Amino acid sequence: MTAEHDLDALAAEPIDEQDLRALATLRSILQASDPVPSDLAERAKFAMSVAALEAEIAEITTTTPELAGVRSTDYDRAGTITFSSEQLSAMITIELVEGTNARLSGWVTTGPTHIELRERSRTQETTTDDAGRFTFTSVQRGLVHLVMRRLDDPQSRPVITPAIEI
């Protein structure tokens, strides 16, 4: 009997306790040496949303100056962020409120716009008022992004902001 035949016979055996211990050890080594990024699921959902919608991506054009010390572990989050795309610009202000929530107020430069706020475990929707303003009063802290659809131009593509952390 050859060594190759022995390996084939061993591979055909059911998984036992020794196999499970070896796999658990391998898992812990890989988790320690190359951990899965904590925001991987959120980034994957965002990428799939963009592909599915064939949307236009808005770029962050300005933020408030609180982000100057980005290499520090103790930093302030931006209070105001401006996004721009070919179709529209949007400015949002983030106000941290009680515990794990924030208030997000914004303004868009176009006519009536449907705004969808995508959070970790839910989606909230609103429509801008006549002046282009919108508000979400209870936003979960964590990664969020906005999907904006112009109501005055139904043929236009949705505009999606990059994910931002609140």
* Beta bridge partner(s), residue 107: 91, 133
Confidence of residue 67 (pLDDT cuts 50, 70, 90): very low
Nearest to residue 147, comparing CAs of 61, 57, 67, 87? 57
Range of weakest confidence among 22-31, 75-84, 122-131, 142-151:
75-84
For 6-20, write each residue's pLDDT tens digit. 888 888 889 899 999
Tell me what percent of the residues of the chain surpass a pLDDT of 90: 42
Kindly report whether the global pTM for this prediction surpasses the value 0.75.
no
Tell me what percent of the residues of the chain surpass a pLDDT of 70: 83
- Say what the pLDDT of residue 48 is: 72
- Say what the pLDDT of residue 155 is: 87
* Beta bridge partner(s), residue 146: 117
Confidence of residue 144 (pLDDT cuts 50, 70, 90): very high
Higher pLDDT, 54 or 129: 129
Measured distance CA(46)–CA(48) in Å, rounded: 5
- Say what the pLDDT of residue 21 is: 94
Contact 122, 136 (CB under 8 A): no
From residue 124, how far is each of 116, 137, 152, 156 by CA, in Å? 6, 10, 21, 21
pLDDT at 126 over 80: yes
Measured distance CA(149)–CA(165) in Å, rounded: 22
Contact 91, 106 (CB under 8 A): yes
